[in-house]
Every structure is written in C-alpha cells, then in structure tokens.
Amino acid sequence: MNPASAGDIGIRSYMSQIPFARHLGFNLTKFEGGESEILYTAKPEHLNTFDVTHGGACMTLLDITMAAAARSVSPESGVVTIEMKTSFMRPSVGPLHARGRMMHRTATMAFVEATIYDEKDQACAHSTGTFKYVTRRLPTGPTSANAQRAPSTD
C-alpha cells in the first residue's frame, strides 16, 4: 500500500489502510477536528459464548476509534497505541457505534477517549488511551525497494 498524502486521508481512505478494521466491517462515519465515530455490527464469528460482541472486538473498535480521533487532526501522521485502559459496563449487543474524542495533544502524543454505545444509546464500554504520532512508513514488501521495518516508538 502506498503512503497517502495528507489530502488523501479522510473518511473513505482511512479505513482502507487498516485491513483488520475492514475484516471486522467497521464503518468510519466521522473523522474530523479530534473526533471520530465508527459503526459496527458484530458478525456471528465475532461473538463470545454468551452471544454478545467479544471483548477483543470491542477493544479493537475502541482502539481504532481513538486512533482515528487522534489522526483526524494530523492525517499526514500515523499513530501507534502506547497505552489503553478499557472498562466494560454492559454487554455490547446488536448494532454498535463508537465515538472518540481527543482530550489533549502534545507535539508527539495524543490523549484520547472512546465509548461504545448500543442502539439504545447506552454506554457499553469505555477506553482511554495514549497514542504516539509517528512518521508514515514507506511502502514495503516483495515489490518494494524498501526493507520492512516497524514504526519507531522512540
């Protein structure tokens, strides 16, 4: 995948850059001004033994929602999760939507929160997270002249 310019990053292209989000079926509907919103309905294979959305799928939704909020103010940068704390308040059942908000930003870090809501607009899970802004990577892989390397968190 080629790195996108700042003008290319938006609601349509942001999710296409995250294969796991596409796999889960996340739909980004807001990506601006330090805020984000993602819609998600869990598939049967994303449920736990109680037939509610698996906690791992919920944490992924919260992580990506927070990252989108952080990136929405600096779309030319990537972000990596440094720390995340999640509280589960009620089962996440049916169509869900997660809203993210950047609370504070420094030159290199973003402090963000996100909440998952059910279709009755009841809070199901909440996270806070710290994200580090990183330089976007050059394309890698068998057809690229660039060696594979993970983004730096230094």
Residue type, 57: A
- Our CA angle for 99, 128, 49, nearest 5°, is 75
At residue 153, the pLDDT reads 59
The yes-or-no verdict on residue 150 having pLDDT over 80 is no
Res 11: pLDDT: 73
Give bridge partners of residue 88 from the DSSP assignment. Answer: 125
Structural domains of the chain ordered from first start: 7-134 (3.10.129.10)
- What are the CA-CA distances from residue 91 to residues 19, 49, 50, 75 (Å)? 26, 12, 9, 33
Lowest-pLDDT range of 50-54, 109-113, 114-118, 140-144: 140-144
Q: How far is CA 120 from CA 22, 27, 98, 116, in A?
A: 25, 19, 13, 11
Using CB atoms within 10 Å of the CB of residue 128, give its burial: 0 to 12 exposed, 13 to 18 middle, 19+ buried.
middle
For 13-66, the pLDDT digits (tens) are 777 788 899 999 999 999 999 999 999 999 999 999 999 999 999 999 999 999
